[in-house]
Amino acid sequence: MGQLQQGSKKGAFSRTQPWNMRYRQAAEEAQGSTTARAHDDRVFKASGRITFSVLLACFVGACTGLVFGYDIGIAGGVISYPDFQRRFFPQVLEAHADKDAFCKYNDPLLQLFVSVLFLAGIVGAFLGSFTAKQWGRRPTMMLGGLCFLIGAVLMAPAVHVAMLIIGRVVMGLGVGICVMCGPLFLSELAPYHLRGAFNTQFQLFITIGILVAQCINYGNQNYEWGWRLNLGLAGLPAALLMVGAALVPETPAHLVEVGREEQGRQVLRRIRGAEDVEVELQDIKDAAVAARSTKVNPWRAIFSRKFTPQLVTIVALQVFNQLDGINSIMFYAPQLFDAMGSGRREALMTHVIIGAVNVATTFVAVFTVDSLGRTFWMVEASAHMMACEVIMGVLIALKMDPVTGAIPKDITVGLIVVVCVFIAGHAWGWGPMPWLVCSEVQPMHTRAAGTALATIVNFILTFIIGQCFLSMLCSMRYGVFFFFAGWLAFMGVYTYFLVPETKGVPIDEIEYKFRNHWAWGKLMAKHDAAQEAKVVDDIADDLAAARGTSSCKVDVAKKGKPEM
């Protein structure tokens, strides 16, 4: 409050300046800084060049996506090993005999094996939000890698379903920590004009992880014990992440936030390959001043009125990341194609083809996200993925034998093509963009908690889809594809109207995109007015206290306390 009142007394603010701009000015004046300036006058100038150091850091940050992707890719393949089913889920083998094609994999325990990882990931993400803020992004990534490694060591030699599930839970903790921290680390290290390209490496590495896992599934399919190797090999990307994280620097934003400004300056110089990094450093310092002045716990702050636009955006985008239906294909494509009569070998091969398309088309996002923007790709993806879902639903409705599940060969080929086009939409739209935007829209104070929240929402939805898709398929049949098509239509409209474009704006300036937005701006202006009333109230309190009376307070108290 102190800084704010000083600013007010100096009369430095105009009534039309946005609330936090005035706040920043006040804070800067209180510190004797000469850098106060109007947001609109800012020229966003990138400092330095792309150095080896920043590329290495980008690679390591993206390895968090690799562990995540490996896990997604391996699950569907592992559960299709007969030896695995016999040992841990014999009821599935028995069910093959008497259930129809839509229902033969509908086993709650089997689905729990796939999805329990995401429940544990929710806890991991929450934990990671604290370690990322207190210890830093780098140690947090190392911790995530370590949990993932321990999980792999527990699962590979599993002899009992409990050992398997415990390993998966520990691995899940690691995945949660990695996924909350990776995009954050990437966004904070990236030069702002290439933040899209840097951050989408996270999604690119997810897809590479998935593809590697699918190839391993395919290559090992004839070995009884192949699933053990698949699960054990998860230790490799985890080890890579741990070693890599030991070699790269902490982000300048975190260093400045915890008061190690000089170290932050040195890291900036190193990753930007330039001596003069003061403009960028000043931005980070501004954000840190604002972050430090907020006494409210980040998790409470995120749910306060002030952050409603960011909160709604994060929740919506992560829900959409899952409700495009991607994981129904990623987790269960081998089961789907097996059910259609392709045979296990062809089904696994199809999974590999889908994985390769996923990797290849993600490059479209990497190369265009900083020019075409984020919302463009999300809207485009909604339209074309919706068309694919409808085509898949119609083809399956008309051509699948409901008892045997068989589909004529030429139709299956057509379906695979449609699935690939569908995958492309996720790869350049609904896959990378939510992760990117969610890591961009939070101010420094709530950034770690915000990316953790994004992970938590994502994992809750992934858990639900992992747990329910096979049951939905069993009960809704081809209707499940129309269900996802409906969501995609809504997602496109929502994004077009309500998601602000964040390309090319420094991460600590993105709040203004919400302030200038036709809908969110109104909401924030309301909050500003309430905050302003609170300042008047507080000043009146101080004056009254100084005069030893309560007369001022009575007047202003009528305004009521604004919500935080």
Of 50 and 464, which CB lies nearer to ligand BGC in the complex structure?
464
Residue 387 beta carbon to ligand BGC: minimum distance, rounded to whole angstroms? 19
Of 48 and 183, which CB lies nearer to ligand BGC in the complex structure?
183
Q: Is 330 an interacting residue with respect to ligand BGC (CB under 6 A)?
A: yes
Of 3 and 439, which CB lies nearer to ligand BGC in the complex structure?
439
Identity at 422, one-letter amino acid code: F
Residue 546 beta carbon to ligand BGC: minimum distance, rounded to whole angstroms? 55
Cβ contacts of residue 306 below 8 Å, gap of 6+?
A: 524, 527, 531, 564
Of 70 and 102, which CB lies nearer to ligand BGC in the complex structure?
70
The answer to whether the CB of 79 falls within 8 A of the CB of 114 is yes
The backbone region for 214, taken as left when phi is positive above 0, alpha when psi lies in -120 to 50, beta otherwise, is: alpha
Of 25 and 199, which CB lies nearer to ligand BGC in the complex structure?
199
Of 131 and 462, which CB lies nearer to ligand BGC in the complex structure?
462
Q: Can you tell me which of 80, 207, 217, 467 binds ligand BGC, judged by CB under 6 A?
A: 207
Run of H or E including 251: none
Per CB under 6 A, the segment of 106-114, 139-147, 203-211, 301-309 that binds ligand BGC is 203-211
Residue 427 beta carbon to ligand BGC: minimum distance, rounded to whole angstroms? 7
Tokens of 434: 């939510």
Tokens of 494: 């929502």
Cα-based distances in Å from 32 to 27, 344, 454: 9, 70, 37
Cβ contacts of residue 183 below 8 Å, gap of 6+?
A: 61, 64, 199, 202, 435, 436, 438, 439, 451, 454
String of contacts with ligand BGC for each residue 333-362, x by CB under 6 A: -------------------------x----
Residue 361 beta carbon to ligand BGC: minimum distance, rounded to whole angstroms? 10
| Backbone angles phi and psi of 227, in degrees to 5 | -65, -30
Residue 466 beta carbon to ligand BGC: minimum distance, rounded to whole angstroms? 9
Of 136 and 425, which CB lies nearer to ligand BGC in the complex structure?
425
**What is the spatial distance between Cα 499 and Cα 432, in angstroms, rounded to a whole number?**
15
Q: Is 327 an interacting residue with respect to ligand BGC (CB under 6 A)?
A: yes
Of 136 and 182, which CB lies nearer to ligand BGC in the complex structure?
182
Residue 312 beta carbon to ligand BGC: minimum distance, rounded to whole angstroms? 19
What b/e string do you get for 316-349 counting C-beta neighbours within 10 Å, with b at 16 or more? bbbbbbbbbbbbbbbbbbbbbbbbbbbebebbbb
Q: Can you tell me which of 131, 251, 439, 462 binds ligand BGC, judged by CB under 6 A?
A: 462
Burial environment of residue 237 by CB neighbours within 10 A (0 to 12, 13 to 18, 19 or more)? buried
String of contacts with ligand BGC for each residue 85-114, x by CB under 6 A: ------------------------------
The answer to whether the CB of 70 falls within 8 A of the CB of 294 is no
Q: Is 206 an interacting residue with respect to ligand BGC (CB under 6 A)?
A: yes
Q: Can you tell me which of 47, 203, 220, 335 binds ligand BGC, judged by CB under 6 A?
A: 203
Of 339 and 433, which CB lies nearer to ligand BGC in the complex structure?
433
The answer to whether the CB of 94 falls within 8 A of the CB of 222 is no
Q: Is 72 an interacting residue with respect to ligand BGC (CB under 6 A)?
A: yes
Which among 552, 319, 294, 269 has a CA at the least distance from the CA of 434? 319
First to last CA, the chain: 14
Residue 487 beta carbon to ligand BGC: minimum distance, rounded to whole angstroms? 15
Q: Can you tell me which of 214, 321, 335, 382 binds ligand BGC, judged by CB under 6 A?
A: 321
**What is the spatial distance between Cα 479 and Cα 506, in angstroms, rounded to a whole number?**
43
The 10 Å Cβ neighbour count of residue 165 is 19
Per CB under 6 A, contacts with ligand BGC among 385-444 are 431
Per CB under 6 A, the segment of 22-30, 140-148, 287-295, 321-329 that binds ligand BGC is 321-329
Q: Can you tell me which of 80, 458, 467, 531 binds ligand BGC, judged by CB under 6 A?
A: 458
The 10 Å Cβ neighbour count of residue 486 is 13
Residue 429 beta carbon to ligand BGC: minimum distance, rounded to whole angstroms? 10
Taking the alpha carbons of 91, 97, 98, 104 in that order, is the dihedral positive or negative?
A: positive
Query: Number of residues in contact with ligand BGC, rule: CB under 6 A?
Result: 13
Of 207 and 342, which CB lies nearer to ligand BGC in the complex structure?
207
Cα-based distances in Å from 359 to 192, 201, 273, 433, 526: 24, 11, 31, 15, 44
Residue 175 beta carbon to ligand BGC: minimum distance, rounded to whole angstroms? 11
String of contacts with ligand BGC for each residue 209-238, x by CB under 6 A: -x----------------------------
Q: Which residues of this chain interact with ligand BGC, rule CB under 6 A? A: 72, 203, 206-207, 210, 321, 326-327, 330, 358, 431, 458, 462
